[in-house]
Amino acid sequence: MARSRKTRSYLVNGFFNRIMESLAYLQKQIRDIPDFPKKGILYRDLTTLFKDPRAIEIATDLLVRRYAGKGITKVVGIESRGFIFGSILAYKLNAGFVPVRKKGKLPADKISTTYTLEYGEDSIEMHRDALVPSDKVLLHTTFWPQGVPPWRRSNSSRSWE
């Protein structure tokens, strides 16, 4: 039996309201630290979110809902906060997990890229054999310096080496 337009509208609005309430709850769990790691930078501290079981559940459910059924085969998590939800997502999506680490932390043959931060430069690395061409990858991180992924900046356009 088809739902009436009014019923569908009510269900959609109710779902939207629950999502907005969830996002507001998550936002309240994130601590702002001004001038860290240097003056002029507003650091969003997620450790306050990570210590709250309800926040972890809400964030996980929202992320899984968004990517379930998309055929993700690998979740790539960028050090270090990307490891936390990245590994949970990989588990929930029945995918593998690939850690991207800071330079010098991985033992096997690796590829790397360098990117610019508000306060300097940094490099990240991934094992060369971590991904195969047929993988459908979800890249998860909680940190984009300057709000832009490293490979989208002019000094990083050369890709991974």
In a domain, 1, yes or no: no
Residues 141 and 157 placed together within one structural domain of the fold: yes
Strand order in the sheet with 74-78: 110-117, 120-127, 96-102, 74-78, 137-140
| Residue 118 designated active-site | yes
18 labelled catalytic: no
Tell me which of 118, 121, 128, 152 is the catalytic residue. Answer: 118
DSSP calls for 95-111 = -EEEEEEETT---SSEE
Within-domain flag for 19 = yes
Residue 25: enclosing H or E segment and its boundaries?
helix 5-29
Are 111 and 91 a contacting pair, CB within 8 Å? Answer: no
Indicate whether 12 and 74 sit together in one domain: no
Predicted TM-score (pTM) of the model is 0.77
Question: In a structure prediction context, what are the per-residue pLDDT tens digits for the chain, which is 161 residues long?
Answer: 566 666 656 556 777 888 889 999 999 999 999 998 888 888 888 899 999 999 999 999 999 999 999 999 999 999 888 899 999 999 999 999 999 999 999 999 999 988 877 777 888 999 999 999 999 999 988 665 545 444 444 443 344 54
Side chain identity at 2, as an amino acid letter?
A
Tell me if 30 sits within 8 A of 81, measured CB to CB. no
Structural domain of 18: 7-67
Question: Over the Cα atoms of the chain, what is R_g?
Answer: 19
2, part of any domain: no
3-state DSSP helix/strand/coil % of the chain, to nearest 5 = 40, 25, 35
Same domain, 54 and 102: no
